[in-house]
Amino acid sequence: MPASSGDGSDRPTYLIISQVYVPDPASVGQHVADAAGELARRGWRVVVFAAANGYDDPSKKYPKREVLNGVEVRRLPFSSFGKSSIAVRLIAQWLFIKQAILHALFVKNVRGIMVSTSPPFCGAAGAILSRIKGVPVKYWLMDLNPDQMIAMGKIGPKSISARVFDFFNRMILRRAGDVVVLDRFMLERVNKKVDVTAKAHVMPPWPHEDGVVDLPHEENDFRREHALGGAYLPAAGASGALPGSGRFVIMYSGNHSPANPIATVLDAAERFRDDDRVVFMFIGGGGGKKEVEDRLARQRADGKRVNIVSLPYQPLEKIRYSLSAADVHVVSVGDDVVGIVHPCKVYGAMSMSRPVLLLGPKPSHVSDLIENHRVGWHVSHGDVNGAERAIRQMLSTPGSDLRAMGQRAAGLIAGELSKKSLMGRYVDVMERGVVK
């Protein structure tokens, strides 16, 4: 029997290429890391190629090589320069992909390859390496381009850029042994490029509920810090609140982007300026945050009650407190991005046992959840009157009914949408047809 090399290179290896990886906070990297860790737990040697710098903040530098949760992480230089422009991002992506392909050629005993959509052209790398090494490649779509760029008006549907994107899309969609999409709407869009019905798996990304559990308002330091008080207590049969009631908090937490318009809830907030029962809180960053800051500045300038609170992303150790501080979480899905981007923030709200207010079209993934499980309200973009009616209904809903909605949401997260269930299903797909 031949002697082991001692570095693990003689073991069956699963190769993963992802520009982002923990400790980078980007959601894609966290999900890829979960899957990689589960593969390692199942006995695979797992090698990940990722960028050496932060995705949003390229000033953050990560170790060139390290082992995280049993996974060998190798980080490549000149692979992330921030998001200052599309050109800068594309240069970094191409440099990353070229390096990843070159380094991956020298990884021994590769039996399977997994790529996602970070960067968008990563699928091409997976297809090329799959053909060279003669092993299966699995493709995990977290979003869809060039569809997203077209929907945001950044490129035209007939542009050269769009055609190049779709050329590489078709390459990986045809080559992949299995294709995982996040919802049925995404599958419909993918099938218009290449029919992958026979090898497609529809499953949403699992919530990162580890250590993130509901915290009663009375015990929440975040609510105390921002003078939100304890639980909101609606007065029975009236439009007011009981003495000693805390504020009713409607919260949007996460990336503020053109794909997640919030103008409707900002307009609705103006109609509650004289109602001190309710506070509208916006937490996070992104290009769309300027809209919140501008509205807040106007409120401060006119001398009336300010009912908008704007905060940056909260540290990971405070997420439990900030998310729990809400009574209802806003989830926004742009009319043109259904099936292109997936509204992952809905799972954080549901894991907190909170109802959701969907701003967006119907049908969509979140409207399906609301309709099938009665976990919130739906309002179309631009329907400010509808948003006002929904909020007034929230304010008059007994606390027991709100809690029941939240508990139904949390029950979904604990069951069919749990990290354990979804991650197990996903890694089963990764192992399907791969010889260990």
Provide the 8-state DSSP code for 224: H
pLDDT at 1 over 60: no
pLDDT score recorded for residue 7: 63
The arithmetic mean of pLDDT across residues 140-148, rounded, is: 94
Q: For the sheet containing 178-181, what is the strand order?
A: 65-68, 71-76, 45-51, 13-17, 110-115, 137-140, 178-181, 200-202
What are the structural domains of the chain?
Answer: 13-206+418-431 (3.40.50.2000), 217-414 (3.40.50.2000)
pLDDT score recorded for residue 85: 67
- Structural contact between residues 210 and 293, judged by C-beta atoms closer than 8 angstroms: no
- Structural contact between residues 12 and 47, judged by C-beta atoms closer than 8 angstroms: no
**Burial per residue of 371-399, b for 16 or more beta-carbon CB atoms within 10 angstroms, e otherwise:** eeeebbbbbebebbebbbebbbebbebee
The arithmetic mean of pLDDT across residues 160-171, rounded, is: 93
Query: Between these two residues, 364 and 6, which has the higher pLDDT value?
Result: 364
- Structural contact between residues 216 and 412, judged by C-beta atoms closer than 8 angstroms: no
Among residues 363, 333, 318, which one has the least CA distance to residue 262? 333
Distance from CA of residue 351 to its chain's centroid? 14
Distance from CA of residue 126 to its chain's centroid? 23
Name, of 77-81, 283-287, 376-380, the range with top average pLDDT: 376-380
- Structural contact between residues 405 and 376, judged by C-beta atoms closer than 8 angstroms: yes
pLDDT in tens, 29-70: 999 999 999 999 999 999 999 999 887 778 889 999 999 999
Q: For the sheet containing 308-311, what is the strand order?
A: 308-311, 278-283, 248-253, 328-332, 356-359, 376-379
Pairing assessment for the beta strands 65-68 and 13-17 based on DSSP bridges = unpaired
Percent of the chain with pLDDT over 90: 74
The arithmetic mean of pLDDT across residues 340-364, rounded, is: 93
pLDDT in tens, 289-347: 999 999 999 999 998 999 999 999 888 778 889 999 999 999 999 999 999 999 988 99
Identify residue 272 by its one-letter amino acid code.
F
- Structural contact between residues 145 and 116, judged by C-beta atoms closer than 8 angstroms: no
Percent of the chain with pLDDT over 70: 95
Separation of alpha carbons 75 and 62, rounded Å = 8
pLDDT score recorded for residue 425: 96
CA distances from 161 to 173, 187, 314, 436 (A): 18, 22, 36, 39
* Average pLDDT in the chain: 91
Q: How confident is the model at residue 285 (pLDDT cuts 50, 70, 90)?
A: confident
Q: How confident is the model at residue 2 (pLDDT cuts 50, 70, 90)?
A: very low
pLDDT score recorded for residue 210: 58
Distance from CA of residue 312 to its chain's centroid? 17
- Specify the 3-state DSSP secondary structure of 240: coil
Separation of alpha carbons 358 and 365, rounded Å = 10
pLDDT in tens, 167-212: 999 999 999 999 999 999 999 999 999 999 999 999 999 987 555 5
